[in-house]
Structure 1
Amino acid sequence: MQIDDADRRLLRHLMADPALPTAELAERAGLTVATCWRRLERLKERGILRGEEARIDWRALGWEVEVSLRFTLDKTNPRAFDEFISAAREVPEVIEIQTFLGQTDLRLNMIARDMQHYQEIYRERILALPHIADLDALMLVATIKESAELPL
């Protein structure tokens, strides 16, 4: 989808500060408030802006462990992916589920309060997920870069 320079300015300012009021966003992007509002609505209608969300820092709430789990599924069952994903969605500590092409079929990102909590979740909930042929766990040590900003 094509966007113009004014749309790019709006998106850059929104990425930098999503809580900007429309009037301030319009001023920073060099637009009138009415034009800014219309452009935002058009970006939403086109599916470029998908809405607003609160970003909560789970670490600040005491969740100290993040693990990326990579799964290869036993694909002899044609419903393996659907059944695995359905069961994984039921684990509240799983914060992200992704599917891949290649040797790894799925990746789950999960959080835990501490290592003991992680071990409990891993043994009781993760290992109970259906159709696991292989599993690899990567413990997060440090996040070097985390950004949802696009090069607009």
Structure 2
Amino acid sequence: MIGATRRFLLTGVLALGLMGCAAKGPVGPNGDPTERLSIFTASGEHHFWVEIADTEPKRQRGLMFRPPLEDDRGMLFEWPGEPAREQSFWMRNTPSSLDIIYIDPQGKIVSIAAHATPFSEAPIPSNGPANGVLELRAGRADEIGAKPGDKVVHSYFKP
């Protein structure tokens, strides 16, 4: 009887642990957890699993040396505690083209740099203050109809 009770409890603990992991989202290629992010466009709501780049080392590394992103994946760059400012990204050591979406503190898309050139070191400006930057597979922003002014929902942005 004690063995059966232990097996039951162990099974329950494992199931709870797995449910907790599933709620966080799939793991990225580098083993980093992902979080849910949604973009609301004229064509509807579009969901993505994003890795978070919220420290200087993570922001510096970004998606360098990585294979192309899947349709539902991305990376969200955050600057916690810092005000929105003009941002500028480049594609150094990034082998696949990306859409770079600049976002203001309320989650409104400021601008979109579509199909950024792989390996380019040319600066890609936000053309307005932003404190979030979302990178998606090249062409994905156009596929979902994303435009400046559309809403991005994630816990980082304050409505």
Smaller-chain TM-score bracket: under 0.3
Larger-Rg structure: 1
Q: Which has the larger share of strand? A: 2
TM-score normalised over the length of structure 1: 0.26
TM-score normalised over the length of structure 2: 0.25
Structure number with the bigger relative contact order (C-alpha 8 A, sep ≥ 6) is: 1
Q: Which has the larger share of helix? A: 1
